[in-house]
Structure 1
Amino acid sequence: MITLEEFAAKIGVSAATVSSVFNNRSRERRISEKTVDYVNAQSRKYGYQPNVAARRLRVHKDMQVCELAVLTAYESPAAVSTNIVHALEQAVSRNYPHITSFVEIVMFHRNRIKDIPGILDGSRYNGAVITNTGFDDDRFFEENNISYPVVFLGRDLPGYNCVSEDARHIGREAARELLEGSRCRRPVVLAPREELLTQTTKARVDGFMERCEEAGVPGEILWAEDVSVPAGLSAVGGFLPSKQMDGLFCVSDYLAVGAYSAIKEKGLGIASDIAVIGVGDFALGEYLDPSLTAFLRVDKDECAARMLLEQLFDADARLVSRVFNASLVPRASSLR
């Protein structure tokens, strides 16, 4: 990993200028917007981030307390953030027993993460896992620099440490299973309304529709109010029986739980009338009745936690983007 001085020399500006930009003090130092944009663009081009972790550890060489945060949207299921908190606490306890950690859940409205005080300067915590951001949030981070260690979970942003999945592949595989395995001819994908889509959920929808089009079978998108269980119940309940489907892919397992209730309330059978596939983000999916066909759960939370702590406590930590592949686990909800 190159140093701040090496990066500054590489792009032809002073180290002080780079430091001011990354610490969001460009106005205070009267650095022009043109220069700020140039430094930000070059940092994304070269994947450079200042080793904030090493600098903080030098300043706080006897640091025994580590304040961490999980930044997540109000519109996402609460279990998503609590799972990440658990992963962070376990990773600190297992790998850094001499450190006392505090983990705070910080909520934001999707596409309004910029409203969080201190979101760029790290005045509130030492490091953060950021998840469930919208497209406006992602653009905000692409255009600005965060001056403390972060890991983005569930999306891939240039110049940041990221943990994500091959979401388009998941959508394609779900469509393939419904079309070929369950022999569906009226496949539907259930997703939150468009303004609530994330990089991951949009890619799942796009992959599903792409595969249906390639197979010559018209797919349909059913929009839910959000990704909650009640939203799934309402969306599918309103769709049936005036419209027909024989296969349903839910971009969130919480939507799938609601869809189960709606299908049963309409007197239809899961699998026999409508094959249902989820994505494996609900740990109890295999215990639903019938058990939910879903993709094998990969512990992305644990990977993100480990990656964040390495940034904080390992001076040699590198910029990493980890993409997980997921395999489908057929269960009773799609077997015919």
Structure 2
Amino acid sequence: MKKIAIDAMGGDHAPESIIEGVLRAQKEMPDVEFILYGNQDKIKPFLPETYSPQIKIVHTTEEVTGDDEPVRAIRTKKDASMVRAATAVKDGEADAVMSLGNTGALLAAGIFIVGRIKGITRPALMPTLPVSNSSDGFTLLDAGANATSKPEYLVQWAQMANFYAQKVRGIANPRIALLNNGSESDKGDDLHQSVYQLLTGQADINFVGNIEANEVLTGKADIVVSDGFTGNALLKTIEGTAETLLSLLKDGLLNSGLKVKLGAVMVKPALKNVMVRFDTSKYGGAALMGLKAPVVKAHGRADARAVYYTLKQIEQMLAQNLTATIVEQFEQK
């Protein structure tokens, strides 16, 4: 039985949304044990009086907050739910970690507790985002784990994302593109020009060239590789734009008079299709690629449904032995 260590105290709606997501996932994953790390007095009220033996509680007395300095929190809060969950993986008591908490702290826990795969220089944060022409979406990395990058980092990230797309997303020959400020091969600064040449020389990946930011949501690539600074800016721009547009649309439909409300009823099916297409919850969380075990970060505002899909994502990563594949590829180099 596979075991997922869950930081039950991380996120805006913890532990309620986390436990609701676990209860849903538990019904569909009979071969997975869910270990909830956190304050048992806060966890138990959200569990049924009699719950499945698949769910375990490990009581902890500390929490990593959003205001904590990441590395300091990991080193000093030894009984924090996030730290205990990561330590369980290090000690072989669990196979993967999930948290909705402090991203920097989870990255630090992944590097310093779970550990990097030998041969991987820097881990990368990789969410999956929607596209306009399919339900498959695209993965983006690095989305903010590294403030500065070197060409070899991006090549390793592309290779790891290639394995993820094949094994977890079921894409046989994923298209990999480099985020740049133009489509031509000589565009960008020295970093991006060097990466372009290196990716062109990789025979084992399907590199399709540069992609500009205005094209990433069109489905031209299954994987978009970026330096961490730019990738994080792109991720926040997409999230912010989507939230703003949806808010404006909702306000316009509800507060522009009776005729607009009647029109909204007529276009409701089309609007629903758009919402389904750009539903980010179904893609799960952002995986920290390059660690010795799956470490996945769900959004801090994630609801029970998003938690459920993140657990499904982790189950698939474990079932496909993704980490073992990456280890085999990189440790032999």
TM-score of the two chains, using structure 2 as the length reference: 0.31
Bigger relative contact order, structure 1 or 2, given CA contacts below 8 A and separation 6+?
2
More helix per residue: 1 or 2?
2
